[in-house]
Amino acid sequence: MDQKKSSLSASLCFATPVVALAAALVPPTAVAEEDMSKPEIKVERKKEPNGREQLYMFIDGVKVHETDTTKQPLPPVVTPGEEPGDAPSDAIVLFDGTAESFAANWTDTKGETSKWKVVDGAMESVRRAGYVQSKKKFGSCQLHIEWASPSKVEGDGQGRGNSGVFLMGTYEIQVLDSFQNQTYADGQAGALYGRSKPLVNASRKPGEWQSYDIIFHQPKFDEDGKVVKRATFTVLHNGVLIQDHVVLSGGTGWAGPHAVTEYKAHPDRLPLSLQDHGNPVRFRNIWVRELKD
């Protein structure tokens, strides 16, 4: 036992200079970045009128439990939707089930009238009509969207109920009939295509309405087009967490059987788009809340 202890302390003694050397090798910028990621916490001790000493904590310069709303503004009030999935009061509704809403908010990728159909309160992908894109452009956002693969099951693998939700028209969350329909994991419903498989398969049966709730933070590029911040995704499929704050390592575009595209610099705001992959997939109840980075 003692022998073990002494050999442990000997190895620690030996390890110390190695640790010190490793610390010295850490670039100073990395240390600074780590410090910046933490809130600035300041603690003050003050004497109360009753003589007791009290601790006051400040986070990012604001007193904890501050009741003065000029110093700590209250969050804006948002009226939530009546039912789960309904748009809250501060959402931008991109499709409410009507042809008017479709025409007002969506075009094809050339900005012209899309050949997608509005059927039974849903917008439906039409083979060879191409993608649809929102007229409004978005960056980081919370997106709610409902979709249904065709109730008549046709094809298999990637050929069954394939569509996609493209944040910024670029980063695809796969839409696919993944109910008893096997394909590669990073290409099934809820995958960040080619980059991140869903944690679980929460698919409903073909023809049944399903939902995605997506929290997306956009990537950032410097003026030379280099990625300085990667995109992140959190996704719930039918209320089930399937992407848990995933840091997207690059693009999600098809680039051959075993490859996807890399990041490519793009503007800060771009339309949301939905894929025409040749299958009549339907969408409804689409709304967005813009997020600050």
- Please report, as ranges, the residues that interact with Mg ion according to CB under 5 A: 162, 164, 275
* Shortest-Cβ-distance residue relative to Mg ion: 164
Compare residues 164 and 250 and give the one whose CB is closer to Mg ion: 164
Helices (H), the chain: 2-25, 28-36, 99-105
Closest distance of CB 56 from Mg ion, Å: 54
**Cβ of residue 117: shortest distance to Mg ion, in angstroms?**
19
- Strands (E) across the chain are located at 41-47, 53-59, 62-63, 92-95, 106-108, 117-119, 122-124, 132-138, 141-148, 163-167, 171-175, 210-217, 220-221, 227-229, 232-237, 240-247, 270-274, 282-290
Shortest distance (Å) from residue 81 CB to Mg ion: 28
Q: Of 164 and 194, which has the nearer Cβ to Mg ion?
A: 164
For Mg ion, the closer CB: 81 or 253: 253
Q: How far is the CB of 233 from Mg ion (least distance, A)?
A: 15
From the CB of 162, what's the least distance to Mg ion, in Å?
5
Q: What is residue 4's three-state secondary structure?
A: helix
Nearer to Mg ion, 85 or 253 (CB): 253
